[in-house]
Amino acid sequence: MNSVAEVFLAPGAPSVQRCARCGTVRDELDAAPACPECGGLLEILHGRPVDASGNVLDALSIKHAFAQHCCARPLGYASGVWRFESIVMPSAGSAITSHPEGNTPLLSRAALSRWSGVNGLLIKHEGHNPTGSFKDRGMTVGVTQAVRVGATAVACASTGNTSASLASYAAQAGIPGLVFVPEGKVAVGKLAQTLAYGARTLMVRGDFDACLRLVQESARELGIYLLNSINPWRVEGQKTIVLELLQQLDWKAPDFIVLPAGNLGNTAAFGKALRECYALGLIDRLPRLVAVQAAGAAPFAKSFREDFATRYTVAAETVATAIRIGDPASWDRAVRAIRGTNGIVLACSDEDIVDAKVVIDAAGVGCEAASAASIAGVRRLVADGIIQSADRVVAVLTGHVLKDPGMLIELHQTRADFANANRPIVIDANVAAVARVLRETQSLSITP
Ligand code: F0G
């Protein structure tokens, strides 16, 4: 693992953007979506955190500052992103565009521990964010940067959650939002949010990968500020999922952190957060990152099995539409995250993902299908003997159950062959009808 001098700039130095491929360094207010020299992805480097007098903060003081920051100041600081601003975007100042967001719970449920095989399974539920997914953490920072660089419009390609989040934060900042989504492949809750928050919505005849190529080209040629997770500030915001969960665990790192993976922005963000926390001494050991893909959209898992010798692309297909991605953009960053944490990448079938979702939903927790990949992944790694039942495991649920009501109606109302369907019952408006239902209903609960 890298030393603090390799991971951070000199104490108090202003943040910069650095190309991960050729090393070119650019000012933090440069709005280019990628390295203008070589086209590589940019990453943010911050100065080592200091106090008001410029003295280097030790690990204890940094933890104390994070804790103090929470809710202590007016708007912006009730946020689970901005209390970590010293290692996210130290110079945001009054540009901050915050809902607020973050401060999501770390849950445990006996049913999910039982089903996954991990006794004390913890669930970081990012569906509790304001637009119902983890994207809000990256978007508050991305839109703040758009304000700082004077963007006239912001844009993204999306499988639905990023577009909903961009639409919400762009509306707050008063900047026009433009989103590119694959026609017919976006869950209805996400599309409805995007329209409601007022982003101009382009339904592209093509998949997510085609949308991403199109938005990158459009951003280059039309000067629109790009807010996909290739934008390094999005990564900075998404790091706070890890920062916050470590804080909730009193900085005692778990054995595994498990998350669903599509475009790999989040995997990259988790790796960067862990690298920085370890370098600053906030944690004394590194959890293993586990990235879980859907089997029909698993180029990264395939590459992992060959020690990342080849970068694959696939024509993606999965019921988990959020991660229906065949050519992930943050590939190299994510390889670094997996390698740097002795991580694991695996693929779970759609069947396993839906099984996990049904159990998560029936536990009263709920999540969208892609999110359930993380707990499906935990169960698989327990079966394979890689995760032990006594290990400390945090599985991240990335999106809210209401993101995809279409899938729920299909499972519970429309589909004839779903054994655990909780079918609604039409009755006449009298108590006798209610009594009959009570008599006839043997069990209303879903049996995992
Ligand atoms: N889970 C959910 C609910 C998502 O929406 C996404 C990505 C992921 C997991 C995977 O994260 O791409 O960083 O590996 N959604 C993007 C979107 C692609 O457009 O909303 P990733």
The pLDDT assigned to 396 comes to 99
Of ligand 1's atoms, which has the minimum distance to the CA of residue 325?
18
Query: Is the per-residue pLDDT at 191 higher than 60?
Result: yes
Instruction: Give the residue, by CA position, lying nearest to ligand 1 atom 15.
Output: 322
Give me 175's structure tokens.
């900047």
Q: What percent of the chain has pLDDT over 70?
A: 97
Q: Are strands 256-260 and 288-294 parallel, antiparallel or unpaired?
A: parallel
**Residue 325 Cα to ligand 1 middle (Å):** 9
Output the pLDDT for position 446.
Answer: 45
Please tell me the predicted confidence (pLDDT) of residue 72.
59
pLDDT in tens, 211-237: 999 999 999 999 999 999 999 999 999
C-alpha distances in Å from residue 189, one per residue of 154, 210, 325, 353, 379: 22, 22, 19, 19, 28
Cis before residue 100, ω within 30 degrees of 0?
A: yes
Write the pLDDT tens digit of every residue in 406-443: 999 999 999 989 988 999 999 999 999 999 999 987 65
Q: What angle do CA 252, 258, 263 make, to 5 degrees?
A: 130
Residues with Cβ within 8 Å of residue 194, at least 6 apart in sequence: 160, 163, 164, 167, 179, 181, 201
Residue 332 φ then ψ, to 5°? -65, -40
The DSSP output letter for 159 is S
Separation of CA 263 and ligand 1 centre (Å): 7
229 lines ligand 1 (CB under 6 A): yes
Distance in Å, CA 404 to ligand 1 centroid? 14
Position 299 scores a pLDDT of 98
Please give the Cα distance from 431 to 162 (Å, whole number): 46
- Structure tokens given for 229: 């997770």
Tell me: pLDDT of 5 over 80: yes
Is the C-beta atom of 321 inside 6 A of ligand 1? no
Model confidence over 157-178: pLDDT tens digits?
A: 999 999 999 999 999 999 999 9
Alpha carbon of 314 to those of 148, 156, 205, 301, 377: distances in Å?
A: 37, 21, 18, 12, 21
Residue with tokens 């009054």: 94
| Mutate-to-test residue for ligand 1 from 125, 135, 230, 327, highest number of ligand atoms within 8 A of CB | 135
User: 264 CB less than 6 Å from ligand 1?
Assistant: yes
Dist. CA 149 → ligand 1 center (Å): 26
Is 131 touching ligand 1 by the criterion CB < 6 Å? no
Q: Which CATH architecture has domain 106-132+232-405?
A: 3-Layer(aba) Sandwich (3.40)
CB burial class (10 A; 0-12, 13-18, 19+) of residue 425?
exposed
Interval between CA 275 and ligand 1 midpoint (Å): 22
What's this model's pTM, rounded to 2 decimal places? Answer: 0.97
pLDDT of residue 370 exceeding 80: yes
Say which DSSP state 55 is in. P
67-107 tens-digit pLDDT: 888 765 554 478 999 999 999 999 999 999 999 999 999 99
Q: State the distance from the centre of ligand 1 to the C-alpha of 11, rounded, in angstroms.
A: 34
Rg value, the chain, Cα: 22
Whose tokens are 């903060």? That residue is 57
